[in-house]
Amino acid sequence: MNKFVVQNLNFYYGKFRALSGVTLTIPDRQITALIGPSGCGKSTFLRCLNRMNDTISGTRVEGKVLLEGQDIYERRVNVTDLRRRVGMVFQRPNPFPQSVYDNVAFGPRALGTVRKSQLDDIVEESLRGAGLWEEVKDHLNQDALSFSLGQQQRLCIARAIAVKPEVILMDEPCSALDPIETLQIEELMQKLKVNYCIVIVTHSMQQAARVSEWTGFFWLGELVEFDSTAKIFTNPSQPLTENYITGRAG
Amino acid sequence: MLKGDLTTRTKTYQSEAVIESLIRVLGFSTIGFVVLIFLFLLRQGMPFFFQVPWANFLGTRWYPTFGLFGTLPLILGSILVTLTAIVIALPLGLATAVFVREVAPNWAREVLKPLIEVLAGIPSVVLGFFGMNIVAPLVRTTLDVPTGLTAFTGAIILAYMALPTIVSVAEDALDAVPKSYRDAGLALGATKWQVIWRVVVPAARSGIVVAVMLGLGRAIGETMAVMMVTGNAARMPLTLDSLFRPVRTMTATIAAEMGEVAQGSVHFQALFGIGIILFVLTFLINLAAARPIFQKRRRGGLR
């Protein structure tokens, strides 16, 4: 089943056109990786999927992004509801300067959950889901910033899944992490895709090849090729894709 | 001169050394002046604490002509006026800072911020005049009290004087909160207000504390406006309605009585004694304000 259907998406920062004519479908309960050189528009595209680009002034969108058939850029769409369904994990781990517990409980509280017992359950469940519970269960009141970057990033994932989204967008989630922490996140993604649709932007082609079922290759704001990861990395149909993944371009 | 001799003292090197030592002298002399002022204050004021018995200067009556030097009503008067001022100024200042930083469009922010900072430059005597003629009658008629020259009137004027400091410093603190925190909150489906009150303001907490402390420091040392609007009756502000009665602050006492006191008399020393108390209070407030700053600096790292 398809989670997102994107049709002919154009995106502008002021007069600069960052994305042109992007069309693709993103399947549910699988991992879709977006690769391409810096500045190719892959992060911009990702942020179009939960309308985080709305926070940057002077940006403009054309085309359609359908989430289960509904255009998320339609006028009557409630952006906060959209973002509760489409969560996001950022490039640098960005937990709030608050306790581990408060970080995970932030989303549910914003949604109106106030009962302590209920929050306790959500916090434990989310931290278990992010593979962090055993490490932090005795430190729930400790400042989140006192943990390692890898733990902080998994905390951000726990915080994201605490609001029970349908999609998790990951914008280079491992670029600030060491190889062991990266591996932990990648293993976590494999567990999460059973329940979530995951879209990951990555600089590392190996990572895309390791974790994803589908891969999209962006170049200068255009989606050059979108296909199964196996096809992209073994037998791409576009010469530009082949040049990029073999290191001759980009 | 040998080529490559690293020990040679060139002309630039010498002039650099001169400039550096000059700057050092200037820097240290600033500290020196502060120390000298404090020593002068101690020399003039300390005898008071030894000449007058404890029971007297910790008493509740300030009648220097009868040898009664109870500083308690003055200290409590200052604290009452200052704390009330902060209670008024903090919510107003924080709300203004949040508006300027988080809500106002860019062009409005560009106009508002300097405008608010200009408010800090209004001479306190002008505000005192405004307080006497506008605020005091208003307080008298709306609250139906015998006189409009009350602790509350003083607190309103002081709150106004502390506001620019609080707004400006709190706004800087909000501005320093990284965008990544806001993004994280928004990406979780929180509304703009939820992000402001649950993420941005708590993250800026230490800066907001500094803002309040600096405002407090400015308020407690303020003299002229306070003297003009608080009524200057040295009574103990212990009852609940004291806020709406006249009080007298430490600063107003010094300013009002210093002109007519015999040099070297006990009364003269008593005024300097009040000065010492005021200095210590202000110093403690500033120290409290500096603490979060130092903590943050030590912590450093990812912010």
Residue range(s) defining the domain that contains residue B244: 54-299
Residue range(s) defining the domain that contains residue A35: 2-95+164-237
Kindly list the distances between the CA atom of residue A215 and the CA atoms of A28, A67, A81, in Å, as whole numbers in the listed order: 14, 19, 28
Whether A55 sits inside 8 A of B198 (CB atoms) is no
Whether A94 sits inside 8 A of B182 (CB atoms) is no
Looking at residue A250, its pLDDT comes to: 57
Kindly report the average pLDDT of chain B as a whole number.
88
Q: Which long-range CB contacts under 8 A does A149-152 form with residues at least 24 apart?
A: A149/A93, A149/A176, A149/A177, A149/A181, A150/A177, A150/A178, A150/A180, A150/A181, A150/A182, A150/A184, A150/A185, A152/A93, A152/A95
Q: Does A104 touch chain B (CB under 8 A)?
A: no
Question: What integer is the mean pLDDT of A137-158?
Answer: 95
Looking at residue B301, its pLDDT comes to: 38
Inside any domain, residue A188: yes
Inside any domain, residue A109: no
The minimum CA-CA distance between B189 and chain A, rounded to whole Å, is: 4
Question: What integer is the mean pLDDT of B252-265?
Answer: 89
Instruction: Say if residue B299's pLDDT is above 70.
Output: no
Looking at residue B302, its pLDDT comes to: 36
Q: Residue A111 class from Cβ within 10 Å (0-12 exposed, 13-18 middle, 19+ buried)?
A: middle
Instruction: Say if residue B7's pLDDT is above 80.
Output: no
Q: Does B187 touch chain A (CB under 8 A)?
A: yes
Q: Which residue has the higher pLDDT, A219 or B264?
A: A219
Inside any domain, residue B16: no
Inside any domain, residue B45: no
The minimum CA-CA distance between A247 and chain B, rounded to whole Å, is: 32
Whether B189 sits inside 8 A of A107 (CB atoms) is yes
Inside any domain, residue A246: no
The CATH code of the domain that includes B96 is 1.10.3720.10
Q: Give ipTM to 2 decimals.
A: 0.91
Q: Does B184 touch chain A (CB under 8 A)?
A: yes
Q: Which residue from A88, A95, A97 is facing B187, i.e. has the nearest CB?
A: A88
pLDDT digits (tens, 9 = 90+) for B221-234: 888 889 899 888 88
Looking at residue B238, its pLDDT comes to: 84
Measured between beta carbons, the chain A residues lying within 8 angstroms of B197 are none
Q: Are B230 and B247 in contact (CB under 8 A)?
A: yes
Inside any domain, residue B5: no
Inside any domain, residue B15: no
Q: Taking a contact as any Cβ pair under 8 Å apart, which residues of chain A between 161 and 180 contact chain B?
A: 163
Inside any domain, residue A152: no
Q: Does B190 touch chain A (CB under 8 A)?
A: yes
Inside any domain, residue B245: yes
pLDDT digits (tens, 9 = 90+) for A87-121: 999 999 999 999 999 999 999 999 988 899 999 99
Q: Does B1 touch chain A (CB under 8 A)?
A: no
> Which of A97-101, B93-97, B143-147 has the weakest average pLDDT?
B143-147
Inside any domain, residue B7: no
The CATH code of the domain that includes A179 is 3.40.50.300
Measured between beta carbons, the chain B residues lying within 8 angstroms of A160 are 187-188
Whether A83 sits inside 8 A of B203 (CB atoms) is no
Inside any domain, residue B138: yes
Overall number of domains in chain A = 1
Q: Which residue has the higher pLDDT, B303 or B128?
A: B128
Which of A83, A159, A166, A167 would best serve as a mutation to test chain B binding (most B beta carbons within 10 A)?
Answer: A83
Overall number of domains in chain B = 1
Question: What integer is the mean pLDDT of A129-155?
Answer: 94
